[in-house]
Amino acid sequence: MAITCMMATESSPAEEVKREHQVAFGGAGESSVPENFIWPDEFKATADAPELHVPHIDLKKVLSGDEKDVEEATRLVDEACRKHGFFVVVNHGVDKELMNKVHECMNEFFTLPLDVKQKAHRKVGENFGYANSFIGRFSTKLPWKETFSLRYLAHENSSTARDYVSQVLGPEFSHHGEVYQECGKALSDLSLRIVELLGLSLGISRETFRKFYEDNDSIMRMNYYPRCEKPELTLGTGPHCDPTSITILHQDDVSGLQVYVDDQWHSIPPTEDSFVVNVGDTFMSLTNGVYKSCFHRAVVNCKEARKSMAFFLCPAVEKVVRAPEELVEKYPPRKFPDYTWPMLLEMTQKYYRADSNTFNAFTTWIQQQNLDSTASPAV
Ligand SMILES: O=C(O)CCC(=O)C(=O)O
């Protein structure tokens, strides 16, 4: 299989683009998956994973303030987050047309020739730009996907996503930048409503987490999973817990998301006009471990490509992540050391490949650093 991939044939530009894209990941003519995309048996995909029945929370009802609706929603969210941290939001207030436009931009971008996408190349150790497994930092257990990641900064007058797209891809892609910027704003606003709901579910004020995240410095990631001839051998996204705070995921109409619950992989299939929400390690630590950050992955299939778009809510860089006192009093003792989000981000981007132990490894590392800095100097 060729990795870089111009083929000298007489065909239309559209066919050329499609072929180039297919060759990179093993196209229709190739029946094998390259060695470095094959995952060990214990990780291998199961297409027939049973569905995980997660609550569907009607945010419009919650925001209407009706006492019964709020009580029911907080009970369901609390139950789901203590067990696995996944639920779905509907009637969320994000314009369906906007999400359609996001998917159109993704279709357009990911089917571009590699050299155009490479203008936005995400460098090793950096968090933003275009990445695929052929140019990444790992050489085994590679994910069968391409990603395009952008920064969303929740400050008035900030337009990080829009500016980045125009700068790296050129003015002909400025409409993509506009769409992603608008989407970032809509999902940042939605995430603030969700953290309010999470605060209420935990029995603390709705303001606590909203305040913490209102100046969030978040990540938007567009995921593109090409069709794969042997989907049982590989994974689109390997098993991991999100190190971020909460994730808001928009899936197209192709299944692929799986969550590990009760010693088994379960799927969360897409449902019309909804977002899947999950708790990540940073929000788990803000709840003093009461809400779970759960192992999940994405599988691929042999019929069609799949797209998803994730908004990873992250605190502003200088904010100290520390569970509020009132929660620790309710659920003592304090379980995690204080940290700032860039410390954890740096570890996952530069030194550690996300797995089931990422957050434990991180907290052990911080504790060690704290010990080292308080140790008396050698005489
Ligand atoms: O695409 C999906 O369904 C999951 C993506 C995911 O887990 C991630 O981007 O971290």
* Structural tokens at position 81: 């987050």
Alpha-carbon distance 138 to 352, whole Å?
Answer: 11
CA distance 40 to 114: 29
Euclidean distance between CA atoms 26 and 49, whole angstroms:
25
Structure tokens at 178: 């506009």
The angle formed by the CA atoms of residues 196, 199 and 202, to the nearest 5 degrees, is 155
C-beta 237 within 6 A of ligand 1: yes
Q: Confidence class of residue 20 from pLDDT cuts 50, 70 and 90?
A: very low
Question: Do 25 and 144 contact (CB within 8 A), yes or no?
Answer: yes
Q: One-letter amino acid identity for 77?
A: V
Q: Residue 139, Cβ neighbours under 10 Å: how many?
A: 9
Q: In Å, what is the CA distance from 340 to each residue of 58, 165, 209, 285?
A: 32, 27, 15, 12
Average pLDDT over residues 242-250: 97
Q: Whose CA is nearest to atom 10 of ligand 1?
A: 242
Q: Which atom of ligand 1 is nearest to the CA of 297?
A: 7
**Rounded-to-integer distance, Cα 77 and Cα 155, Å:** 29
Total-model pTM: 0.90
Q: What is the pLDDT of residues 142-200, one digit of tens each?
A: 999 999 999 999 998 899 999 999 999 999 999 999 999 999 999 999 999 999 999 99
- H or E element that contains 326: helix 325-330
Separation of 372 CA from ligand 1 center, angstroms?
A: 36
Mean pLDDT of the 310-320 span? 98
310 within ligand 1 shell (Cβ under 6 A) = yes
- Distance from Cα 371 to the centre of ligand 1, integer Å: 36
Query: How remote is the CA of residue 270 from the centroid of ligand 1, in Å?
Result: 13
What's the per-residue H, E or C state across 60-75? HHHHHCCHHHHHHHHH
Domains with residue ranges and CATH for the chain: 35-352 (2.60.120.330)
Residue 4 has pLDDT above 90, yes or no: no
Ligand 1 atom with the smallest distance to the CA of 236 is 1
Q: How is 30-59 classified by DSSP, letter by letter? A: --S--GGGPPPGGG---TTPPBP---EEEH
Of 178-187, 303-312, 364-373, minimum mean pLDDT range:
364-373
Q: Quote the Cα angle for 95-98-99, to 5°.
A: 95
Q: Is the CB of 296 under 6 A from ligand 1?
A: yes
* Residue owning the nearest CA to atom 1 of ligand 1: 308
CA 227 to CA 232: how far, in whole Å? Answer: 12
Q: How far is the CA of 68 from the centre of ligand 1 (A)?
A: 33
**pLDDT confidence of residue 41:** 86
**Residue numbers annotated as active site:** 306
Q: How confident is the model at residue 322 (pLDDT cuts 50, 70, 90)?
A: very high
9 Cα: distance to centroid of ligand 1 (angstroms): 35
State which of 308, 345, 348 you would mutate to test the pocket of ligand 1, scoring each by most atoms of that ligand within 8 A of its C-beta: 308
